[in-house]
Amino acid sequence: MDMKLFSVMCCLVFFGTTVFGATTSREVRSKTLDEDEDTYGELKDTDIQKDDYYDGDEDVEEEAPEEDNNVDLRITSQPQTIVKKLGDNVRLPCLVSPEKADPIRVWRKDTEVLYQGSVPVSGSRNMKIDNGFLHIQLRDVGDFGEYNCTLILNEHDNPFVVHKVLQQEEPRIISLTVDNEQSVLDIGDTLTLNCNATGAPRPRISWHKNNERLGTEGETFIIQSVKVKHAGSYRCLADNKIGKPAHDHIDIFINHKPIVNVEKYIVNSDHKSNVELVCHVSAYPPPAVLWQKNGMNLEQNEPKIKFANERNNQRNILLISDLQEEDFGDYTCLAQNNFGRSTQNVTVVKTPVVRHFQKPHNETKDAVLMWKVDSKQPISMHELQYRKKGEPNWKTVTPDVTNATEGDTYTIKYVLTGLDPGLYEARVRSQNIHGWSNYSPPLPFEGVLAKHTAHQKSKYHKKDQKGKDQKDMSLDTPAQHRSEESSLGASTHSGSVRRSPLSMQIFAVGAILFSLLVHVRQ
């Protein structure tokens, strides 16, 4: 019974304190207001400050200024160029600002008045006006042209906008020119080409050299400080996706001394056979081309000696028939013009000639070498030498001899096995009844890793796995620390939790209610 009395007293104290506190607060505020009134007198409405300042008669309404539709009236639509075909519809804008204004618009085509306001005047059988737009159905070529929209404001202020409606037109090259009309330039000059094209829509212009597209687009193409390589045929191409592109070309020449190259530096042949020697010459002005033997100019003497040229004298050919012993040896291709002369030598031999020594490739774990040999007489022996880079001695192997694959050309393939990793070089030669050929120039290649692939893979795998484990550890560590810190924080602060005053009030009310419930049940 004492416990019930204690619980009831706690409730009375709690609620009494709450009610008394609220009442006291109201009384204090009321008392403060009364004291203010006793000191300063009763407050009136006139003593309360007003935020809005007003000076004048409240009953007088301010008259709104008269609206002037012509004030700052302007056309906001921009001029347009529209490309269409017959049968299409066109909408031309003539919008104004402010939008609520409704001025008189006069529409004209060229000089003919079409509409004045909403009233059709002439030539408007296929046209209509709608909210500042002129709608046109293009029925014939006479509907293409310039359309003018003018606002009638006063005699001094009549803004307007002009639109162009053009008919689709295939591109056409008007002109392709070079600055100063100089198609022949010296090395170091500036090349400037200009291409003028028409069409609707306006065509895009691209540039090409010898059928290869260049990166430049636009009406002008410029190369600063030209070199020999810039000589050639330049083409201007205009395309607007209407019909076929139009194009034109111009040839550009660069003055320079001849540049001579031969197709084969060593040519294999045999007694009673024929031989063809070829040299390519590039020069401007076009050079004179001669063939020499032992420093003496050769004269055409058919059928023994014959000259020929192709591609505007760029490919020059010497044909020698029925070779005799004295016909073997060195020949010279000589080209000369006003800017200088150049030569290249070609040697005619009876021994084999090694060609096309291809860079080794790795189809399997081995190094595969391939090369070709020219020989009029049958090959009796091949020799392949190889060594590791930096070693003094060559290792020699003898590939099998097979029949010629195409005419007098032999194709040889050999596989090198058991190579250690590293950089190697190889050279080859062949033999026929006239003797051994010269060694080919050394060709570098790399020893394959296939022999130790498993070892390397295991090694690299372990290394990568170790790195991966370390990486995984480094990635997992922060999360693990955060987890540990979270657990540590929970255990450390569990015994000293701070509660707010509101929490304490709720706790007290809950305790009292729980106590009452227990005693009531008793």
Q: What is the DSSP string of 168-219?
A: -EEEEEEEEEEGGG--EEETTPPEEEEEEEEEESPPEEEEEETTEEEEEESS
pLDDT of residue 513: 59
Overall CATH class of domain 74-139+153-162: mainly beta
Q: What is the DSSP string of 399-448?
A: PPP---SBTTEEEEEEEE-SPPSEEEEEEEEEEETTEEPPPPPPEEEEE-
Instruction: State the residue for tokens 């007489």.
Output: 377
Per-domain residue ranges of the chain: 74-139+153-162, 169-255, 263-349, 353-453
Q: What is the DSSP string of 85-147?
A: -TT-EEEEE--EESTT---EEEEEETTEEEEETTEE-SS-TTEEEETTEEEEE--SGGG-EEE
Per-residue burial over 265-282, b = 16 or more CB atoms within 10 Å of its CB, e = otherwise:
ebbbbbeeeebebbbbbb
Instruction: Check: CB of residue 297 under 8 Å from CB of residue 290.
Output: yes
- As a whole number of Å, the end-to-end CA separation of the chain is 9
pLDDT of residue 312: 81
pLDDT of residue 295: 87
Spatial CA neighbour of 447 closest among 421, 418, 425: 421
Q: Do domains 169-255 and 263-349 have the same CATH topology?
A: yes
- The architecture of the domain spanning 263-349 is Sandwich (2.60)
| Cis peptide upstream of residue 201 (ω within 30 degrees of 0) | yes
Rounded to 10 degrees, what is the CA torsion of 251, 257, 261, 265?
170
Q: Is the dihedral of CA 174, 178, 179, 180 positive or negative?
A: negative
Mean pLDDT of successive 10-residue stretches along the chain, which has 522 residues: 50 46 44 44 43 40 48 87 91 91 89 90 83 92 93 84 93 94 94 95 93 91 95 95 93 96 94 95 94 92 91 91 94 96 96 84 74 94 94 95 89 89 92 95 76 38 41 36 38 41 55 56 50
Q: In 10 A of CB 443, how many CB atoms? A: 17
Side-chain-side CA neighbours of residue 352 (13 Å): 30
Give Cα 135 to chain centroid, integer Å: 41
CATH of domain 353-453: 2.60.40.10
CATH of domain 169-255: 2.60.40.10
Q: Is the pTM of this model over 0.75?
A: no
